[in-house]
Amino acid sequence: MPPGLTAALAALAVQASPADFAAAERLLGGSFSGLADIRRSPVATIDAAELTGHEITERLSGLPIGPDAELHVAWIAERLGARMSFATFAANVGDLWFPAMDDIACVLHSSGQLLALVLDHEELITLSALGASQAARHPGHKRRVPDGWPGSLDGRFLALLALVRDGTGLRDARQLDQLISMRFRPREGWTVLDELIELERRGLVRRATGGTGYRWAVTDAGSDALS
């Protein structure tokens, strides 16, 4: 767990638990794995790499979120969640977010909308709106395999697998998406994260770290498939 997080939550009289993590996950349709796709069209973006804790608080406070809005906060790698007001989260973000160690996803309702506020390990903060239909498109990736989905490894699969291998466990789904899109058209109806999860199901890749979209590495079986 990131250092000081337990003490920070205790000082705020906030109870954290796996159950609250699951509650945030359910609001996104049952899985955080769709966040990379959700973040493609944000309502607002904050590059926090050069900001102080106070400046991050100020920038967060400027987002179109009411101070009393209840956040379902999830520390993804830790599978730990908590509930708190947006004002409490923004005022104490310096004690709650450790970008080098973890990503945070917050789900909330504001002005009749379901929103996802994500603070990632690359110090990028995004606020994205989700309609009910959009949230339903991410039901833990329990989705029907479309017609034409290859049973064997096609050229795109092999290229994606090679990109994972060459990244030596450091590339996340967003980076892999950018790289594969330079060579191949998207597979209709599927995101790169869907494809990575399919490769994972086949035992060819594994999740190297937690976080939004995860970072990925090849398994021994994946290396053999490329040899």
Tens of pLDDT, residues 169-220: 888 888 898 899 888 888 777 788 878 888 887 888 988 875 555 789 999 8
Same domain, 119 and 64: yes
Q: ∠ at Cα 95 (122, 135), nearest 5°?
A: 55
Same domain, 95 and 12: yes
In angstroms, rounded to a whole number, what is the distance separating the alpha carbons of residues 160 and 153? 10
Same domain, 109 and 166: no
Hey, how many other C-beta atoms are within 10 angstroms of the C-beta on 183?
Answer: 11
Category of 141 on φ-ψ map: left (φ > 0), alpha (ψ -120 to 50) or beta: left
Q: Which residues pair with 72 in a beta bridge?
A: 83, 107
DSSP class of residue 169 equals T
Q: What domain range is 207 assigned to?
A: 155-226
Query: Does 142 map to a domain?
Result: no
**133 band by pLDDT with thresholds 50, 70 and 90:** very low
Q: How are the residues of the chain apportioned to helix, strand and coil, as percentages rounded to the nearest 5?
A: 35, 20, 40
* Per-residue pLDDT at 158 exceeds 70: yes
Same domain, 126 and 56: yes
Same domain, 93 and 159: no
- Residue 10's nearest CA partner among 87, 77, 76, 92 is 92
Same domain, 21 and 122: yes
* Per-residue pLDDT at 29 exceeds 90: no
* Per-residue pLDDT at 93 exceeds 90: yes
Mean model confidence pLDDT for the chain: 83
Q: How much is the pTM?
A: 0.59
